[in-house]
Amino acid sequence: MNKNEKHENKHIERSQLSRRLIIRYLLTLGVYFVVVFLLLFFLVEMSFNVTWHEDNVLYQILKWIQKYILPAGIFIGFVAITYCNFRKPLQYLDEVIAASQSLTTAPTGELIVLSAPLRDVEHEMNLIREQAIRNAQIAQAEEQRKNDLIVYLAHDLKTPLTSVIGYLTLLRDEPGISPEVRAQYTGIALDKAERLEELINEFFDITRFALSHLELDKAPVNLTRVLEQLAFDFKPVFAEKDMEYQLNLPEQLEFNCDADKMSRVFDNLLRNAYYYSTHGSVVKITGEQSATGITLSFSNTGITIPQEKLERLFEQFFRLDSARISDTGGSGLGLAIAKEIVKLHGGTIKAQSSENTITFILEFPAISGTQENLKNYT
């Protein structure tokens, strides 16, 4: 059943009450006019069987009734029937308006209760109320996460900034220190300044992710070359934790995509692997291409992620380290952006974790014409 059919069925359900009310009103009017017609017919027949005289009192009374009371009575009867039949629909309308006003304000936990004939409307309005409550809770949770993020990042910004100021102050106030110590202080200040730059870039990422829609500039790309280059760029970063990387990729992984944004996805996954891998471990990147599409996996050794946290990894601003250690992890936005980019390319991304291994799996559908274009491109 398509959306149009569902809409038509709902419209039919909602119009049943209207039809019942209209039919009842028309039937009541029909019965009323039939009764009036029969009464008039009886009076006319009776008048033909009696000889009336102008001076007859009963004749004068009946003539007065015919001239004034009968039209007024018919009109009053019509008005009374109309009022009685429309009073109930107006009460239904008042109920719906009152219930709608309760939805425009902050929805409460109380269910909306309407009259029995409005059960379908009551059900739909309660569904709207529940959805409004869920949306309000989601918005509140996102706002709280955003506020927490601002507090945490403010703290994270202050920590490296304090170190940079401290070591630069030492270099200024102690001109006689040895070249070795000076180089050490300069190196530490540079490391903290680079960390500060990363955090500032994360602020820009948050703004772009919240206020703009990502657009793709697609072109034929060999993902194997992109991954080889990125992994090589991460080599000195991995060396800080005695980590290595291992590539198991075919010569060509042909895909029509936005190379810059896809590199952003891979960069986030490699950075995530660096943050949460144990010292001396190996990050494994594998890929394969089939008739159905491309499958990539990024696997690293680390603490097993519980299922309840695994399901939240791609939420905005979610971080595994709730203690917010400044040197561990980013803003919690990287995986959310990665998922958005993968979705825009028609793919999926998921995470698995067991036996101290964390694996991210990306799947992209095959696109006709891509392979031939890439052969020409490469």
* pLDDT confidence tier of residue 216, bands split at 50, 70 and 90: confident
Q: What is the pLDDT of residues 142-159, one digit of tens each?
A: 787 777 667 766 766 777
Alpha carbon dihedral 259, 265, 268, 273, in 10-degree steps, equals: -110
**CA nearest to 120, candidates 264, 257, 247, 20:** 20
* Cα four-point dihedral sign 37, 39, 42, 44: negative
360: which strand partners?
298, 351
Average pLDDT over residues 231-247: 90
Q: What is the pLDDT of residue 173?
A: 85
CA 137 to chain centre: 12
Q: What is the pLDDT of residues 3-38, one digit of tens each?
A: 455 545 555 445 666 777 778 778 887 887 788 777
* pLDDT confidence tier of residue 247, bands split at 50, 70 and 90: very high
pTM for this one?
0.53
Reduced to 3 states (helix: H, G, I; strand: E, B; else coil), residue 176 is: coil
Q: What is the pLDDT of residue 93?
A: 74
* pLDDT confidence tier of residue 195, bands split at 50, 70 and 90: confident
Q: What is the pLDDT of residue 325?
A: 44
* pLDDT confidence tier of residue 48, bands split at 50, 70 and 90: low
371: pLDDT strictly greater than 60? no
Q: What is the pLDDT of residue 286?
A: 95
